[in-house]
Structure 1
């Protein structure tokens, strides 16, 4: 056996935070067990992230669509890769599939997903490391200051269509996430006075979140997200978050006291209604800001 390519997780996405936490514990142990079973402690193991499902996340339903255990499974898959890779395992790979969008839970866009993981295999197992790039952009650090979050990445990033960067949500201590406006950090001006940007640093802000402390990215089962490494390399930034809040605890205060897991259908409905109200309040605020801007001009 030359190696393994792994795409799985749908049936694990029905148990809320409990299931996701168990998945995060078991997945790295499973990789180790497979390597033991095949008698190869360095068996190459490539991970394809859990694919999309359901209606797409939009600006209108943004917060509501953040409540889904499948997102937690996808994040656990990336964190498993990250811990192994950063721990020195050079025989593990990862590619995202969340941007290969279909409503159905089974991946219908198989060819581009296969090409992504094939690049990992070609670069790491077949001697094409100089010709082929496979590693996703990685977060190096985060700083919260002056009403914004600044993220440092290990490579230049952008929207491959040269549009606005979408997919980041930020929250303060109330755990109310809202979609963030994303810009590159300014690093000075050239000799013509034009602003120069550091495309490895992203600045996240939102009028709904005056003091952000955490971010989430591609946090939807069928997420609104488009960040990739620059250069048309087809390397998406992976689903991830900086907080350790359980999905049943976001936003803060919807369920009284500590949530008993798994939560009831009634408690799920309470959270969904609270998230819908967040979306409604944000749309109202954005409309008012737009009206004020138009009147000022």
Structure 2
């Protein structure tokens, strides 16, 4: 009898929220060595028997509640302050003890391959690993998964930063967190939930995707593939039956069998389908208390850059709506320079995507975009210098959230406005630096490059550009009546405008003319 019941018991245990054995259970995001968010009420939740009393104890707080009819329970700890690592204890009919728990700032780190990219695959992995021991920096790596409906749990485990723990962790996330921790001495927790090659729509909630009509072509595209899948699967199974017969005959005759047919991919299970990664890799960690999020993605959406303006803003809103803890800061990494350089100015989907990232960030403030237009590689979509990516993200947060404005430069120069005077365009900038390191420079004082100028004919040519105080003046003898300037508007531009901290100026354009991705709405 017991042997017959065992599979049933095991199956019940695998159901999220199952309470057949009357044990208090909690999602994987709670564990020893975790970081709990400081300065706000902290949600703690899990499952137990319906009506079971559950008590959560941490620091000097004790919160008691009862599981509801579905076996779900939750409490909120009052606002916490950083202190020494101590246990968090959860007690019902059984007791869970999570040791070595810190209070600090927790950041969700997400995106595609450049966020997933590990320290082992980036610059100086040996030195960085040896120097990584830091008890105030904690790492949680979410195991990849997909789902068409929101999940309540995930697979992952907290670890203290150090050799071994950091090696396969996100390099961008680690260097971001390390800079924050070393600069502020506040414990930092990093939740890495990323997947290479994925699109923004996969990380957006179903409610978010349904909120705007311009996303309907994405949803319809996947619906068509899902409707066609049974037919393709049946054709594959028929082909396999035939192949097995013919393969056996070929082998018996001493001949080489034909290649095996390729099985069709179930479109409902792919990480590229809308909402699938939100459901499996974001929903399970909601509403764990967080400080904010960092995001490195966009390469897979570059062909639909104009749509990305609203898609990315919608993604951010969908996360904030889910967490219900206000408008937490959301920082993005702007796409690096990549692909072959071009001799003449022209259109660029990657330039439009970079612009879309800025537009989305401004529409979904607070947040910002870290510019890395100077550290990419023409033949490698995965730049190996992740240290500077993390540092530039950290600059945004340190100035915005940690009170270091005036001491730390937030970013490189950003376009502010323009004037047209005597056949020349005068460009004005923000983010020129701080104190004695304030001002515009060209990289190693070389002649300025990367500026294109055009008139009403929209025909861009390279312009002559000079720094004059806090402005750049652009002109061309071939454009006597200029109306627009573009800077670093290319897949892999060569512009060299920086501030005196050697942070690069952001790519920009002064016009709003239609781009090459206008009207492209479906993958």
TM-score by length of 2: 0.40
User: How far 1:83 moved relative to its partner?
Assistant: 4.8
Deviation at residue 50 of structure 1 after TM alignment: 1.2
C-alpha distance in 1 between matches for 2:336 and 2:411:
18
- Using the TM superposition, give the Cα deviation of residue 237 of structure 1 relative to its aligned residue in structure 2, in angstroms: 1.6
- SS of corresponding position for 2:470: strand
Larger radius of gyration: 2
Residue 214 (str. 1) matches residue 489 (str. 2): no
* Structure 1 residue 212, shift from structure 2 partner: 1.0
Is the counterpart of residue 142 in structure 1 residue 418 in structure 2?
yes
Distance in 1 of aligned mates of 2:410 and 2:360: 17
| Secondary structure in structure 2 of the residue aligned to 1:247 | coil
Q: 1:130 offset after TM fit, Å?
A: 4.1
1:247 and 2:511 matched = no
Deviation, 1:80, is 2.7
Q: CA deviation at 1:241?
A: 0.8
Q: What do residues 44-84 of structure 1 show as CA deviations (whole Å, max 9, x unaligned)? A: 21111012221134xxx122xx3321110011112333455
1:201 lines up with 2:471 in the alignment: yes
Partner residue, 1:97 = 372
Q: Secondary structure at the match of 2:325?
A: coil
| Alignment match, 1:43 | 328
Q: Pick closer, same or farther for the CA change 1:152–1:83 going to 2, 3 Å.
A: farther
| Structure 1 residue ranges, 4+ long, deviating more than 6 angstroms after superposition | none
- Residue 51 of structure 1 aligns to a residue whose secondary structure is coil
The 5 Å alignment of 1:83-122 reads 83=363, 89=365, 91-103=366-378, 104-122=380-398
2:354 to 68, 74, 83: 74
* Structure 2 runs not aligned, ≥5 long: 1-289, 433-438
- Unpaired segments of 5 or more residues in structure 1? 186-198, 250-259, 263-297
Higher alpha-carbon deviation: 23-32 or 69-78: 23-32
CA contact (8 A) 2:348 2:490 kept: yes
Matches of 1:55 and 1:159 in 2, distance apart? 23
Q: Is the 8 A contact 1:78 1:239 kept in 2?
A: no
The Cα offsets for residues 79-104 of structure 1, whole Å up to 9 and x where unpaired, read as 333455xxxx4x31221111113021
After superposition, what is the alpha-carbon deviation per residue over 1:2-32, rounded to whole angstroms, capped at 9, x for unaligned?
2111111111112xxxx22211122222222
Q: Which moved more, 1:116-125 or 1:70-79?
A: 116-125
Partner of 2:72: none
Q: Write the mapping of 1:1-297 to structure 2, written as runs, cut at 5 A.
A: 1-14=290-303, 19-57=304-342, 61-63=343-345, 66-83=346-363, 89=365, 91-103=366-378, 104-154=380-430, 155=432, 156-185=439-468, 199-229=469-499, 231=500, 233-248=501-516
Q: CA deviation at 1:240?
A: 1.3
Q: TM-score, normalised by structure 1?
A: 0.69
1:139 Cα deviation (Å)?
2.7
Whole-angstrom distance in 1 between the partners of 2:361 and 2:498? 18
Secondary structure at 1:77's aligned position in 2? helix
Deviations 1:113-140 (A, max 9, x none): 1111112222333343343221432333
SS of aligned partner of 1:216: strand
Q: Is the contact between residue 169 and residue 216 of structure 1 (CA under 8 Å) also seen in structure 2?
A: yes
Q: Is the Cα–Cα contact under 8 Å of residues 441 and 467 in structure 2 kept in the other structure?
A: no
Structure with more contact order per residue of length (Cα contacts < 8 Å, sep ≥ 6): 1
Q: Secondary structure at the match of 1:174?
A: coil
**Aligned residues between the structures:** 223
